[in-house]
Structure 1
Amino acid sequence: MKIGIADTTFARVNMGRFAIDELKKHSSVTIERYTVPGVKDLPVACKKLFEEYRCDICMALGMPGGKEKDRMCAHEASTGLIACQLMTNRHIIEVFVHEDEAADDAELAWLAEQRTREHAVNVIKLMRPGTLEREAGTGQRQGFSDAGSARQ
């Protein structure tokens, strides 16, 4: 298996480094990294990772700002990532951390690392069929605490 990591220079934390570190802890897969300026560049980065680098799955890592125009850009990037998944029939795990999710830079850095690492584990689980089924309906969250199941 080959995993693609698409990340951005706009992010204020090196999310790609966290993803690669976590993936290497859980598997001995080949990793390709492709860094672009911002979140709207991630869809083509992932498509290139699939088509030119022959990756089987990708992580798209980005850190949109906290303003309304940043939310719009993140939405556009998400739409592009979904289109890329449908065109290639491959998963892209989107890992976005919005700057306004955290109270300060320390919490922002912590959240970016936690969310990236937890999603990297999800990538490994996706590569092992049936693994995620055991977690269905358990309210898993990446970064902050899990929500838990609504069923008692």
Structure 2
Amino acid sequence: MKIGIADTTFARANMGAAAADEIRRHTSIRIERYTVPGLKDLPVACKKLIEERGCDLVMALGMPGGAEKDKVCAHEASQGLQLAMLMTNRHIIEVFVHEDEAKDDKELAWLLEQRTREHAVNAVKLLLYPKELERDAGTGQRQGFSDVGPARQ
């Protein structure tokens, strides 16, 4: 088995390195990495990781900027990732951290690292331990910021 990591040079932190480090903390599974310039390059990178490099699951890591055009690009990239999943019948874990989610650079750096690492754990669970995810169903898990917990009546 193999996990692919597609990341971008546009992100303001090395999300690919954080993902690989976290995956290695939980398993000795092989990792393939493919770095591209920007968000809209991620769908083809993920598809290539699956079809050409034999990855069983891929993480797509990116950081959209805060401008409206960046949000449009993120939406287009997300749609491309959905299509790539349907075309390959493989999971692609989209890990986007929008620049305007954080109040300053310190919080942004923390969020880029935290969300990436938490989703890397999710990728390992999805591929190797799906029953662990099933146990967490409906518990309001969030990657990055605090979990919100289940809805109460």
TM-score (norm 1): 0.98
Report matched runs for 1:85-96 at 5 Å: 85-96=85-96
Aligned partner of residue 123 in structure 1, secondary structure: helix
CA distance in 2, matches of 1:43, 1:129: 24
1:129 is displaced (CA, Å) by: 2.7
CA distance in 1, matches of 2:130, 2:67: 38
1:82 matched to 2:110? The reply is: no
Counterpart residue type for residue 125 of structure 2: K
Counterpart residue type for residue 33 of structure 1: R
Moved more, 80-89 or 123-132: 123-132
TM-score (norm 2): 0.98
| Deviation >6 Å, runs of 4+ | none
Q: In the alignment, what sits opposite 2:8?
A: 8
1:36 matched to 2:39? The reply is: no
Q: In the alignment, what sits opposite 2:48?
A: 48
Aligned partner of residue 55 in structure 1, secondary structure: coil
Aligned partner of residue 60 in structure 1, secondary structure: strand
CA distance in 1, matches of 2:99, 2:70: 10
The alignment of Structure 1 onto Structure 2 pairs a total of residues equal to 152
Counterpart residue type for residue 134 of structure 1: R
CA distance in 2, matches of 1:151, 1:45: 41
CA distance in 2, matches of 1:151, 1:93: 28
Moved more, 128-137 or 80-89: 128-137
CA distance in 2, matches of 1:151, 1:48: 43
Counterpart residue type for residue 78 of structure 1: S
Aligned partner of residue 61 in structure 2, secondary structure: strand
Structure 1 gap segments, 5+ residues each:
none
Q: In the alignment, what sits opposite 1:151?
A: 152
Aligned partner of residue 138 in structure 2, secondary structure: coil
CA distance in 1, matches of 2:58, 2:78: 14
CA distance in 1, matches of 2:111, 2:130: 28
Which string of whole-angstrom CA distances, capped at 9 and with x for unpartnered residues, describes residues 73-102 of structure 1?
000000000000000000000000000000
Aligned partner of residue 130 in structure 2, secondary structure: coil
Structure 2 gap segments, 5+ residues each:
none
Which string of whole-angstrom CA distances, capped at 9 and with x for unpartnered residues, describes residues 41-72 of structure 1?
00000000001100000000000000111000
Report matched runs for 1:64-79 at 5 Å: 64-79=64-79
Task: State the percentage of identical aligned residues.
Answer: 76
Counterpart residue type for residue 74 of structure 1: A
